[in-house]
Structure 1
Amino acid sequence: MRNKKVQPLTGKDLLKKVKKLGNVSREEKAIECGYYTLTDNGQKRVSMVKFLNALIEAEGISLDNELPTESKKRGRSANYRINVQSNGNLSIGKAYTEKMGLKPGDEFEVILGRKNIHLKQIEG
């Protein structure tokens, strides 16, 4: 059995198997999904990095520089922070209003808290 090459699971098969295994340790999940090699004396060496990378890929998350076409838009992305401008105004950028589907003319009620500001949209 030492020479038998185990083909690790990928994609939906990997996700199903991991979910089915439930509360077992990460190392056991990796072994059960085929992410290990056998040493010369027959012991299993877990390939955790390959296993975790396969899980990330199976979830559809890309950590490489390749961005989906939608993400190649120009401009900055929303970081969910704004600064008070020198004239005392707060400006909420286009990234936020687009994400919320707001249109010119939409109205909000400003509610001041002790350390925060809430905007409550007024339905027209």
Structure 2
Amino acid sequence: MLTGTDLLTKVKELGDVSKTELATQCGYVSKKKDGSDRVNFTAFYEALLGAKGVELGSGGAGLGKGGRKLSYIATVQGNGNLLIGKAYTALLDLETGDEFEIKLGKKAIRLIPVGGSEEED
């Protein structure tokens, strides 16, 4: 199974092929009891994300409710609230009680951790 830069290079080299072909060519295949192949998509995509520098926590922090992919878009609700969501706070290892200073700009809202600086990522 390819990982890291080797995985990224192979994916780029393969170009526009099916997802099954990508995972198979990168070595993410195992044999079932009946001898047929099983493509290990989860392991493949986790390795691909890891190679791109995205680490998923053990709690599925990169996934929203029901395992949906995070969209990184928040919508103002009917009551005026702007909800961030647990999946996003988990990605940042935020805990109950963590405080943020709210900085307002022209059509922008920035949340700065209390005691932190605006330049931190």
Q: Which has the higher Rg, Structure 1 or Structure 2?
A: 1
Give the TM-score, by structure 2 length: 0.50
Give the TM-score, by structure 1 length: 0.49
